[in-house]
């Protein structure tokens, strides 16, 4: 299969590097990473290992592939979609945090599939990405149900050795992941603690409240999630990833823009639309926005 990975940073390089074991992969990314991959190939180290030679480019305009996998940060989704719209793809799959497939679908003619990834990835140096945890890719039709494109892409991922599930309930899975991110990300970033610190105590209560608000919004949108289920999902991720610094904490550590708008901002915006209160997410979002403004990264 011809696969274009749009956004070859940490996750894109890991997924693209593994897919290139059996597929014809093009990475769209930045220099110096792209130049190094072109010359020396891509090395995957850590929990997964591979040495592959995908094509790599910095200009994603006017390209064609069977599928484009989008792995830019959520705030770059609209710009990525504008670029992808100049090319030709049968399907476009988001593996990003947040509900970004809606942004992609509103700008693209291709079938847009929803996806989640629980693999951990860190781009350690140009040409080398570390797999920090073997997780799973779950993908499927954006609105739920079956889709032949999802089956084809799922098979392509599995053929390359990626643990992949094709699911028929993506709206519920996307919202459950958003609820977990709403619970964990801002709290860990603001308190500067690892995920495991949310196992009990006051920070745990804030996390549960934020996740509960996300579930309330999901239910207003017709997505069947339970408060107890979301609470259990937060607790499970906290326990499974106790030593992790969340992606938002890593962004804050490095003085980078965070995905606050795609996570807490999205919960608040949709809560407003439904006339629901989301005070915990609103406060967390405002504090992170204040931090971003102070750092000049907004
Ligand atoms: N890393 C992980 O382990 C996981 C990440 N995710 C999600 O995946 C998404 C990506 O995360 P992550 O990989 O960590 O982020 P990164 O910032 O490492 O990767 C995104 C890359 O895309 C590049 N990029 C953005 N726009 C363009 C463009 N127009 N052309 C070429 N390159 C572009 C960025 O460059 P620049 O920064 O210079 O703009 C950056 O190198 C996020 O939504 C994240 O939440 C989900 C699960 C795990
Ligand atoms: C699930 C979690 C919270 C794991 O750290 C994550 O997705 C993130 O850090 O963005």
The packing angle between helices 279-295 and 170-191, to 10°, is: 60
- Helix H or strand E encompassing 43: strand 42-46
Gyration radius of the chain's alpha carbons: 18
For the stretch 211-240, pLDDT in tens is 999 999 999 999 999 999 999 999 999 998
pLDDT of residue 288: 98
Say what the pLDDT of residue 245 is: 92
123 lines ligand 1 (CB under 6 A): yes
Chain mean pLDDT for the chain: 97
ipTM, two decimals, is 0.98
Three-state DSSP class for residue 68: strand
Query: Does ligand 1 lie within 6 Å of residue 72's CB atom?
Result: yes
Per-residue model confidence (pLDDT) at position 54: 98
pLDDT value at residue 202: 92
Residue 264 gets which letter from DSSP?
Answer: I
pLDDT of residue 263: 98
- Residue minimizing CA distance to atom 24 of ligand 1: 7
pTM of the model: 0.97
In tens, the pLDDT along 262-290 reads 999 999 999 999 999 999 999 999 999 99
Q: Is the CB of 9 under 6 A from ligand 1?
A: yes
Q: Check if 177 is active-site.
A: yes
Spacing, Cα 109 to ligand 2 middle (Å): 30
Q: Taking the mean position of all CA atoms in its chain, how far away is CA 277?
A: 26
- pLDDT for res 19: 98
| Bridge partners (DSSP) listed for residue 117 | 137
Q: Using 50, 70 and 90 to split pLDDT, how confident is the model at 101?
A: very high
**Ligand 2 pocket check: which of 98, 233, 247, 260 to mutate, most ligand atoms within 8 Å of Cβ?**
247
Alpha carbon distance 182, 248 (integer Å): 11
Which residue in 23, 33, 142, 177 is the catalytic one? 177
pLDDT grade, residue 111 (50/70/90)?
A: very high
What phi and psi, each to the nearest 5 degrees, are found at residue 35? Answer: -60, -40
Q: Whose CA is nearest to atom 4 of ligand 2?
A: 246
């Amino acid at each position: 299969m011809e696969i274009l990975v749009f956004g070859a940073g940490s996750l894109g390089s890991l997924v693209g590097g593994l897919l290139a074991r059996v597929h014809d992969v093009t990475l769209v990314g930045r220099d110096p990473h792209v130049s190094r991959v072109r010359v020396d190939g891509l090395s995957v180290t850590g929990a997964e290992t591979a040495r592959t030679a995908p094509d790599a480019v910095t200009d994603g305009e006017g390209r064609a592939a069977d599928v484009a996998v989008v792995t830019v940060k959520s705030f770059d989704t609209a710009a990525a979609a504008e670029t992808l719209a100049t090319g030709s793809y049968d399907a476009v799959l988001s593996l990003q945090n947040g509900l970004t497939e809606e942004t992609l679908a509103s700008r693209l003619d291709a079938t847009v599939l929803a996806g989640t990834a629980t693999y951990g990835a860190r781009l350690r140096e140009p040409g080398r990405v570390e797999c920090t945890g073997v997780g799973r890719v779950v993908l499927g039709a954006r609105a739920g149900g079956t889709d032949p494109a999802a089956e084809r892409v799922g098979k392509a991922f599995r053929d390359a050795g990626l643990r992949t599930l094709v699911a028929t309930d993506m709206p519920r899975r996307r919202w459950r992941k958003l609820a977990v991110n709403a619970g964990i990300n801002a709290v860990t970033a603001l308190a500067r603690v690892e995920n495991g610190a949310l196992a009990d105590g006051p920070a745990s209560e804030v996390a549960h409240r934020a996740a509960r608000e996300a579930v309330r919004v999901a239910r207003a949108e017709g997505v069947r999630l339970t408060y107890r289920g979301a609470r259990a999902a937060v607790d499970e991720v906290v326990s499974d990833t106790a030593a992790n610094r969340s992606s938002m904490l890593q962004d804050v550590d490095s003085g980078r823009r965070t995905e606050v708008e795609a996570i807490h901002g999205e919960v608040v915006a949709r809560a407003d639309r439904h006339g629901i209160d989301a005070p915990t997410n609103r406060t967390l979002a405002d504090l992170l926005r204040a931090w971003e403004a102070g750092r000049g990264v907004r």
